[in-house]
Structure 1
Amino acid sequence: MRVVSLVPSLTEAVAASAPGVLVGATDWCSHPADLDVVRIGGTKNPKTERIVRLAPDLVLANEEENREPDLAALREAGLEVLVTEVRDVPGAFRELERVVTACGAPARPRWLDEAEAAWSRLPVHRARTTAVVPVWRRPWMVLGRDTFAGDVLARLGVDNVYAAHPERYPRIPLQELWDAAPDLVVLPDEPYRFTADDGPEAFAGTPCALVSGRHLTWYGPSLTEAPDIIGAALRAARR
């Protein structure tokens, strides 16, 4: 089995579940750190000719991460493309099992059982916190409806102010974000790398939680530790 992954989350999952099958991955596939495969460009601009030359048995993609024209070009070249769709935590578990099975994993990986167990143990959060969740600035963009990261936060007691917005990643002027008066602003370090010096100053007076984008937005082995890591960042911001 030869696999190319166009999704950092899936790269991490396959590397942990079926070692040796990955032959290509994007430039953004940073986990595991010692992954030694051909790099095929970005998630939005993969080098399709390079992928075709690798002659993979399967290309892994995601309906949100990757562009349909690129996937169509790969299919036209005769490659099989598995496209995942992940909008919530249970959906992530279902898709991850589908992916690792398709990649020839000999058994259901232990980390997947551990991740499901970690999320099933979460308490019911009766005291809720409202938040806006910027994912980009210049222009400001936030989490809207039906996002995996939004579901992660909801399960940790945080209600996204823009969860009912008609767009999944709406552009919202900064003044409108202020007017929403959230209890909290959640600032991930990807896809835009918000830091203590780039983000919180725009929301002076509102608690800001700087969180790991990998644990907030990736679905893979990072799901095992995500409840604890994201939960700790949220608790620190609320103090």
Structure 2
Amino acid sequence: MPAARPRVVSLVPSLTEAVAAGAPGLLVGATDWCTHPPGLDAARVGGTKNPDPAAVAALRPDLVIANEEENRPADLDALRAAGLTVLVTEVRTLDQAFRELERVLAACGLDPRPRWLDEAEASWAALPAPTAPRTAVVPIWRRPWMVLGRDTFAGDLLARLGVRQMYAGHAERYPRIPLEELRAAGADLVVLPDEPYRFTADDGPEAFAPLPAALVDGRMLTWYGPSLAEAPRALAAALAAAS
């Protein structure tokens, strides 16, 4: 008789997509921000920063999957206090993302290893060495302006694509920097993702003109899951268009 599969609640959009790609029936709960895969049939338990612990507990999950950056310690402590098992991931680099994805998928009983994970690793391994590195400011918010700083997953992906971020050596991971300072930083490119702030062609590039602006899909830049297989091509194309 096959072992019963666990009931899983995901508090991280990337991990929701990763689990659902192989076994959507495992997910009994997900956050309001878990938009992939479209049409996911799972109860919604609030946001990543404000999940409802009572709603999570009511789903009787065997496992709650979370992330140390996306979810608040107080919320995770409340879930543990309710007697729930919480698996917390840490993702600061691409290599770490691959390791953590394997850990999450194993904890969910997903075996064998999914094809998309092999495809993602192969896609990134096949990247040619950058021939003309570029330096970029990478805003993630405006009003106030916030940018990528040190030790970020998105920054590691950009570095592999030949883009050095101006504030990679900053003491903070997501520093607030005045626009005047950003404009004077000496970058030759601004990279504008569409999440968490939804930068668009009409909202963002004008603040840095005449600096070239690369509008990138935030899911490709910040999610660690099935999108990683497509991300090198999609990000490289967006960066190349901003010349």
Secondary structure in 2 matching 1:209: strand
Displacement of 1:171 after TM fit? Answer: 0.2
Alignment partner of 2:23 out of 15, 18, 21: 18
1:129 aligns with 2:169: no
Deviation at 1:106, TM superposition (A): 2.3
**Deviations along 1:8-30, whole A, 9 cap, x unmatched?**
00000000123310000000000
Q: 1:211 is matched with which residue?
A: 216
- 1:18/1:104 contact within 8 Å kept: no
Whole-angstrom distance in 2 between the partners of 1:109 and 1:95: 14
Structure 2 match to 1:37: 42
1:170-227 deviation per Cα after TM superposition (whole angstroms, max 9, x unaligned)? 0000000011021100000000000011101101110000000000000000000000
Task: Name the structure 1 match of 2:53.
Answer: 48
Aligned position for 1:148: 153
Listed as ranges, the matches of 1:185-204 within 5 Å are: 185-204=190-209
Alignment gaps of 5+ in structure 1: none
| Alignment correspondent of 2:3 | none
Q: Secondary structure at the match of 2:242?
A: helix
Q: 1:184 — aligned with what?
A: 189
The count of corresponding residues between Structure 1 and Structure 2 is 238
TM-score by length of 2: 0.97
Secondary structure of 1:59's counterpart equals strand
C-alpha distance in 2, partners of 1:106/1:95?
15
Unmatched 5+ residue regions in structure 2?
1-5
On the 8 A contact 2:24/2:40 being kept in 1, the answer is: no
Q: Aligned with 2:24: secondary structure? A: coil
Runs of 4+ with >4 A deviation: none
C-alpha deviations, 1:40-82, integer Å up to 9, x for none? 0000000110000001000010000000000000000000000
| Residue 103 of structure 2 corresponds to residue 98 of structure 1 | yes
**Cα deviation, residue 126, structure 1:** 3.1
RMSD: 0.6
Q: What is the identity percentage for the equivalent residue pairs of Structure 1 and Structure 2? A: 73
Corresponding position of 2:65: 60
TM-score normalised to the size of structure 1? 0.99
Instruction: Report if aligned partners of 1:185, 1:206 keep a CA contact under 8 Å in 2.
Output: yes
The superposition leaves residues 136-188 of structure 1 with CA deviations (integer Å, 9 ceiling, x where unpaired) of 00000000000000000000000010000000000000000011021100000
| In 2: Cα distance, 1:18 partner to 1:180 partner | 46
